[in-house]
A and B are shown apart, each in its own frame.
Chain A
Amino acid sequence: MAEPRVTQLTGVHAVSALGRGAEAQIAGVLAGVPAFGAVRRFDTAARRVTVAATLPEVGTLADELAAAIEAACRAAGLAGAQRDQCGLLLAVHGGPAPGAGPTPGALAGQLAAACGLSGHTRVYTSACVSASTAVADAAALIARGDVDRVVVAAGYLVEPDQFALFDAGRALAVDGAVRPFSAHRRGLLLGDGVAAVVLESGDGRRGVEPLATVVGWGRAGDAFHPCQPDPTGTGLARAVDAALRRAALPPQAVGYVNANATGTPQSDAAEAAALRRALGAHAARVPVSSTKSVHGHALEASGLLELVVTALALRHGELPVNAGWLAPDEACPLDVITDHPRPATTTHALTLNSAFGGANTALLVGAP
């Protein structure tokens, strides 16, 4: 049986309240200064919480996605002919589009046409694991030999409907800060996020130097509750197990975890339990942070924004800060990176995501 094909990350682009471009993201998460501020994009007078991490100037989601896909393709050196037969996997919020905007399916078609991607399209609407599931599927399609190259794009721009829903669900942090794994954490805050990445089979035919490789991936369900995470972390741990198994690596190979941790009390504790279950004693030693503490929760796009940040952190050689830290929580016995970035001494990092429905994903990123 032939060796599975390696999936390389050859071009990335991302936009968040930290700025425009991939370099702005890594600079922002290493600076560790949260980007949250008063929402001016729409009226929040009727809401309990009125802050989010938003760009001061932003286009429509369709325009931002098109620009991100184009930038990622350029970064990967994809000329017109190389975009032929290149698929597009898109992660966005599902259902009826606001105003006169296109439906998700139509949006995917428009973006593919605008960017010269003539391969197949698929749209993921799996809430906060949409983008990470798309990356896992892209890697699986490449590994199976279905395709040589896939663009994964994802976007969420803070808007009034989801903001109102999260506010109504009392999910937003009333103290205006995201404090993952910390004592006294109060919840999450939303943030803009638009990202695109080019994933290619690592056969070296194009001679492009990759930024990183996706060496493992896993998806698993909690089978626990419609909205609450399994406090034992069993589902997320099985996703991590699957990622390590695909990479044929032991838990000790993981040198950094960009956690899903949203700053929500029960979710962060469940994730800590998952890490203990999957990594054993190594869970207490591996450096962990959640970059949502700086750029906010980009919902359907969070997995892709965090993949870009994780890959660039490995490349840059510094691990991002977990902002908002107040004090340890005994329910989260992890080595959380507080105060300052740490030197990266690792070649492998996990980026984790979880969502309503007990959906979990793990992506294992390798330095090239």
Chain B
Amino acid sequence: MTASGIGGSSTVCPDEPDTAPVAAGSPGQGTRVVAEARWPEAGDDGPAPGVPGFVSSQFAPVVVAAAERCLGRGYGIAGVPAGLRTAIVLVSASGDRTSAEHVRATVEAGGRIGPLFFFQSVPNSVAGHLAARWGLRGPVVCLSPTGDPYAEGTAEADLLRYDGDADEVLLILIEQAPDASTEAVAVLLGGEGRP
């Protein structure tokens, strides 16, 4: 499985599960890909730039790098049009594995954790960082995939748009494997009317 429909292979692809995800499939009728981006892309050497308030892990930097590249391609320098509600759907099986493993090891050793790890302990936090910088006023939804992450993310995006809480959706797929670099895909989904 790859992040189908957006080209190329990716590590954002957990093993196939025992059960099917809700409404798996491509973006629904009426939904179109407005923009897409990855981290890394050609020319991206070295780690993603740091994000203020986030430490130790490449999870937040890679999410922000892919997402801001996608938002820039979708909305340009003018930013999000007034009145548009853009949701964030972040799909990740691993979550911020680096931070979680640091916390677990520190706790098991009887130590104290730095307070910044509290603020980055859930994927909502980096989504909130993006929402604040770009004025994304739609829902924030984080999923751990039970099947194809892209299909699950687009199904959730379709539901939020159909249901009326979002006009457009920034879908982010990110995985941190223990022995591979952190990678992310971001897709801005929109379209006329309800999907």
Contact = CB atoms under 8 A, between A and B. Distances in A.
B1 interface: no
Interface in B109-145: 110-115, 117-119, 121-129, 131-132, 134-145
B192 interface: no
Contacts of A144: 159, 162-163
Contacts of B125: 226-227, 356-357
Given A105-B93, A108-B19, A94 B146 contact: no
Given A121-B146, A169-B115, A242-B165, A355 B124 contact: yes
Interface in A113-165: 113, 118, 120-127, 129-130, 133, 136-137, 140-141, 143-144, 146, 160-162, 164-165
A223 B137 contact: yes
A166 B112 CA distance: 11
29 contacts: A96-B104, A98-B104, A104-B93, A105-B146, A106-B17, A106-B18, A109-B17, A121-B17, A121-B19, A121-B22, A122-B146, A125-B144, A126-B122, A126-B140, A127-B124, A137-B159, A161-B104, A164-B106, A166-B118, A220-B139, A221-B140, A222-B128, A222-B132, A226-B126, A226-B128, A226-B129, A242-B164, A359-B140, A359-B141
Interface in B35-63: 53
A43 interface: yes
Interface string B85-101: 10110001111110011
Q: Across chains A and B, which 6 residue pairs bring their CB atoms closest together, nearest first?
A: A169-B118, A95-B95, A357-B124, A357-B128, A219-B139, A109-B18
Contacts of B12: none
Contact of B143 (A123, A127, A165, A221): A123
A173 B20 CA distance: 42
A94 B97 CA distance: 10
B72 interface: no
A105 B144 contact: yes
B107 A223 contact: no
A126 to B, nearest CB: 4
Nearest to B104: A161
Interface of A: 43, 45-46, 87, 89, 92-96, 98, 103-106, 108-110, 112-113, 118, 120-127, 129-130, 133, 136-137, 140-141, 143-144, 146, 160-162, 164-166, 168-171, 218-227, 235, 238, 242, 355-359
Given A220-B165, A226-B53, A226-B129, A95 B124 contact: no
B141 A124 contact: yes
Contacts of B118: 165-166, 168-169, 171
A168 to B, nearest CB: 4
B159 A221 contact: no
B124 A356 contact: yes
Interface of B: 14, 17-24, 53, 85, 87-88, 92-97, 100-101, 103-104, 106-107, 110-115, 117-119, 121-129, 131-132, 134-147, 152, 156, 159-160, 162-165
B81 to A, nearest CB: 14
Given A87-B22, A95-B97, A105 B87 contact: no
A143 B135 CA distance: 29
Given A113-B18, A165-B117, A219-B165, 13 more contacts: A93-B122, A94-B92, A105-B144, A105-B145, A120-B23, A124-B141, A126-B122, A161-B100, A164-B107, A165-B121, A168-B113, A171-B118, A358-B128
